[in-house]
Chains A and B, each alone.
Chain A
């Protein structure tokens, strides 16, 4: 996910100081394009002059800030409390069915936030939900509201805690068993060793995972908007929709970006520290499992509860409403059109992102130079920009300068490129590093100039990496919500926007089928990512 350290000279070509112009130009265009949304947002906010300050200290702004901060804190802490024991149980103990629990507790990541919110509202919402329907015969007309804090925290915790699980599991796997043995040899028993040696070792990975959760909580649009929780993303959307003057939205957006960048920097530092703590030298004996004994029953109960709520419940709710819908005669044909729209726009997105990423990557890998690295780094801005912020900036830009592009597919694709190019750059970069520059030099020695070599040798060889990157972007775009909501042409609905509006209007049956499709799609992308990681690990080991 993050830029790797400078590639060694052996990956570059013989004269890195002469950056080929056509590559430089294309990469420059891409980099400038990526910086456009944030730059324009800053300009727009700056043009407000003094009013900007008033908006900043406006009670609404402060309320939103406080809400978001506390939400992030609550979600992070609760997720950590759930995740750390799960990670420990599945890696270091003899929990029965460990391997299945490892997978099941990480799977909730495949459920997009708005699908998760849909499931919770459709199950526990005040009116028309499963629970209310079941209790209706007993005279329960309306359930206590699931909206607000309860719903937001529940939805976010259930579907982001796996970030912390994965981070802590990785750290546990890299824990040198000799450290615990050393502690024993110095007189500490099991419990003392856990508190004084193991837990401190895990601290950086817990922090790194928690910051990811915090970033997700801040940037997510689906949950706060559906659960009617007044955090940044929801406030930005409401301001955008309601007022004629959208200055407040701009200020909120800028504030959110700053918050996000701060968290990203902290996370980067925490991950670096986590690496220090894994010693890879010496004999790696696998540590002996801790025997749970009677504790295995509470442990199993705990894991079942988490998996039940985070995985089984949403799938169950989706299936229930799907069947309800079919029995009520809901037309499923509309889903077909939605799916087509999603696929259409995602394919364009994948194509555009890869095309934009290629010059940047080739420049960075083959012509290592301060400028090429700068251009590459500039594409990573997408990580810090929540979808709604990019969408908002482009709305401002489009309304002022490019009215013809406003609410056009082109602008939507542009937003996707800004958001998802970092994913592709990471993947393509890795696959380019696998290709020996000697092959290109051989082509050059046989009379092929640079553009021809890139076309006939480099890109064909990089094709597997390009395809994987494209697949990844395709799948991520399928799930995208806020940018699509704001920028798509009127009347153009994707699976994601349809689920969102159906849930908003409490048409639960209508949201079920698209939800199912998206969960399936999301599972595919997770498989793709995992196999990518595995391949990267194997290549690195060599």
Chain B
């Protein structure tokens, strides 16, 4: 039995269709990410599961029991769904300890104290029990919010862009922290983010959303290497698309010929997806491209190469490799597998 299940859930705000027939399942103990650009409907999905919004059509099922849909609606306070808000929403008039204790109703004092102590140790904030939210740093507030949501042992924890309010270095640190806590608590979690790195680092499975539509659900590796729509290919990681024509030998492109694994009929025009880490180049007079410029990114150098046809591709090179602007090069592509699109559709 899946912990969370959505069946054909639709939600509109006036004329805006925020969610179109969304369906997916989240299994017990899984960390599930919904990834997509701003306005794609991911936060709406979260709010529907929490019970802050009512679906227009479809059904939402938590632990086998229907909580929304078919004219039925269970209010949020009865769903046992924990939520970590984007701006943490810590109660400013309560201390850290009181915030965490807030969701622990109808419990003996001794039990409460024990749970609070465990949670604080979990998130590493044992020394800050009597502080108020405004006296904490962003990262600390984050952890209190997480502890507060986890304390009542909810069925599922929902995280709305949990790390977007932190600065870059804090974010990497907190990513590992939050993941550790979620795993240790063995809790089911759904997190919503626009940051692909975050989704990949933390989730077991990822759903990519665009304009209210779920484009693909899979493990981070599946999404990255085998995107099923052009949007996913484009959104997740960097991608260049090269025109190619299917022939007997294979798919012929400007930068080489590739196996025609899907047996496309001769003459079909396709676009091949190539990632920068699949493209390499050598300096040679008899090249097929020019080095246009490169972007130093600390860990790598991202080169922009202009092919003779005018098309641009990108190549990821070690940070110490410097090739001058204007050098003539021969571009080679060595993808581990072929991902071909006709229009927006993936060729299978």
Alpha-carbon gap, A276 to B78, bound state (A):
31
Q: Which residue of A lies closest to B104 (CB)?
A: A186
Measured CB to CB, the nearest residue on chain B to A284 is: B87
Q: Are A182 and B89 in contact (CB under 8 A)?
A: yes
B102 pairs with A186, CB closer than 8 A: yes
Instruction: List 18 additional A-B contacts (Cβ < 8 Å) besides A181-B89, A186-B152.
Output: A179-B89, A181-B50, A182-B85, A182-B148, A183-B91, A183-B102, A184-B75, A185-B82, A186-B77, A186-B82, A186-B102, A186-B103, A188-B77, A188-B105, A201-B92, A279-B87, A279-B89, A282-B165
**Would you call A200 and B93 a contact (CB within 8 A)?**
yes
B85 touches A282 (CB 8 A): yes
A283 within 8 A of B: yes
Q: Restricting to A135-183, which residues have a CB under 8 Å from any CB of B?
A: 176, 178-179, 181-183
Contacts of B78 in A (CB 8 A): 187
Number of interface residues of A (CB under 8 A): 22
Cβ of A197 under 8 Å from chain B: yes
Interface centre among A179, A186, A197 (most CB of B within 10 A): A186
Contacts of B77 in A (CB 8 A): 184-189
Contacts of B148 in A (CB 8 A): 182, 186
The yes or no answer to A240 lying at the interface (CB within 8 A) is no
B146 an interface residue at 8 Å Cβ cutoff?
no
Q: Does A507 contact B (CB under 8 A)?
A: no
B87 touches A178 (CB 8 A): yes
Are B93 and A189 touching (Cβ within 8 A)? no
A–B Cβ pairs within 8 angstroms, 27 of them: A178-B87, A181-B50, A181-B76, A181-B85, A182-B89, A182-B91, A183-B91, A184-B51, A184-B52, A184-B77, A185-B50, A185-B81, A186-B77, A186-B102, A186-B103, A186-B148, A186-B149, A186-B152, A187-B77, A200-B91, A200-B93, A203-B93, A276-B92, A276-B134, A279-B89, A279-B92, A283-B43
Tell me the A466-523 residues at the B interface (CB within 8 Å).
Answer: none
In the complex, what distance in Å separates the CA atom of A166 from the CA atom of B73?
Answer: 37
> Closest 3 A-B residue pairs measured CB to CB?
A282-B87, A186-B103, A178-B89
The answer to whether A184 and B76 touch across the interface, beta carbons within 8 angstroms, is yes
A181 contacts which chain B residues (CB < 8 A)?
A: 50, 52, 76, 83, 85, 89
Contact A185 B86, beta carbon cutoff 8 Å: no
Query: Is residue A281 within 8 Å, beta carbon to beta carbon, of the partner chain?
Result: yes
Cα distance A279–B86 in the bound complex, in angstroms: 12
A277 at the interface (CB under 8 A from B): yes
Instruction: Looking at the assembled complex, report how far the CB atom of A450 sits from the nearest CB atom of chain B, in whole angstroms.
Output: 43
Among B80, B83, B165, point to the contact of A281 (Cβ < 8 A).
B165
B80 contacts which chain A residues (CB < 8 A)?
187
- State the Cβ distance, A433 to closest chain B Cβ, in Å: 26
Given A181-B52, A181-B76, answer yes or no on A187-B103 (Cβ-Cβ < 8 Å): yes
Interface size on B, residues (CB 8 A): 29
List, in ascending order, chain A residues with CB within 8 A of B165's CB.
Answer: 281-282
Would A283 and B92 count as touching, CB distance under 8 A? no
A379 to chain B, nearest CB (A): 32
Residue in A183, A189, A197, A282 whose beta carbon sits within 8 Å of that of B75 in the complex = A189
Please report the C-alpha to C-alpha distance between residue A247 and residue B326 in the assembled complex, in whole angstroms: 95
Bound together, the chains give a CA A283 to CA B51 distance in angstroms of 18
A186: shortest Cβ distance to chain B, in Å?
Answer: 3
Which single member of B52, B81, B92 contacts A277 (CB below 8 Å)? B92
**A200 to B99 alpha-carbon distance, docked (Å):** 14
Tell me the complex Cα distance, A223–B289, Å: 89
Complex Cα distance A319/B137, Å? 60
Query: Hey, what's the 0/1 contact readout for A248-288 against B, CB within 8 Å counting as 1?
Result: 00000000000000000000000000001101011100000
Q: Are B86 and A283 in contact (CB under 8 A)?
A: yes
Q: Is the CB of A187 within 8 A of B152?
A: yes
Report Cα–Cα, A399/B76, bound state, in Å: 72
Q: Scoring B residues 226 to 259 as 1 if CB is less than 8 Å from chain A, else 0, what string do you get?
A: 0000000000000000000000000000000000
Which residues on the A side are within 8 Å of B91 (C-beta)?
179, 182-183, 197, 200
Q: Which residues of the partner chain B approach A186 to less than 8 Å between Cβ atoms?
A: 77, 82, 102-103, 148-149, 152
Q: Mark B76-119, 1 if CB is under 8 A from A, else 0.
A: 11111111011111011100000000110100000000000000
Residues of A contacting B76 with CB < 8 Å?
A: 181, 184-185
Instruction: Kindly provide the distance from the CB of A184 to the nearest chain B CB, expressed in whole angstroms.
Output: 4
Contacts of A185-200 to chain B: CB distance below 8 A: 185-189, 197, 200
A183 to B149, CA, bound (A): 10
Contacts of A203 in B (CB 8 A): 93
B89, B105, B134, B148 pick with most chain A CB within 10 angstroms: B89
Complex-state Cα separation, A197 to B78, whole angstroms: 18
**Cβ-closest chain A residue relative to B47:** A181
Chain A positions within 8 Å of B86 at CB level: 178, 282-283
C-alpha gap A201/B76 in the complex (Å): 21
Nearest CB on A from B3, distance (A)? 16
- Closest chain B residue to A186 by CB distance? B103
Question: In the complex, which residues of chain B have a beta carbon less than 8 angstroms from the beta carbon of A188?
Answer: 77, 105
Please, which residues of chain B bring their CB within 8 A of the CB of A282?
A: 85-89, 165
Residue-by-residue, is B49-69 near A (CB-CB < 8 Å gives 1, otherwise 0)?
011100000000000000000
Return chain A residues, CB-CB under 8 Å to B102: 183, 186
- Across the interface, B87 reaches (CB within 8 A) one of A184, A189, A283, namely A283
Separation of A183 and B83 alpha carbons in the complex (Å) = 10
Whether B85 and A281, one on each chain, are in contact in the complex, defined by CB atoms closer than 8 angstroms, is no
- A189 → B minimal CB distance (Å): 5
Q: Closest A-chain residue to B81, C-beta based?
A: A185
B105: chain A residues within 8 A (beta carbon): 187-188
Complex CA–CA separation, A178 to B88 (angstroms): 8
Q: Which residues of the partner chain B approach A185 to less than 8 Å between Cβ atoms?
A: 50, 76-77, 79, 81-83, 103, 149
Q: Given A185-B76, A185-B149, A186-B103, A178 and B85 touching (CB < 8 A)?
A: yes
Give chain B residues whose Cβ lies under 8 Å from the Cβ of A178: 85-87, 89
- The distance from the CB of A285 to the nearest CB of chain B, in whole angstroms, is 9
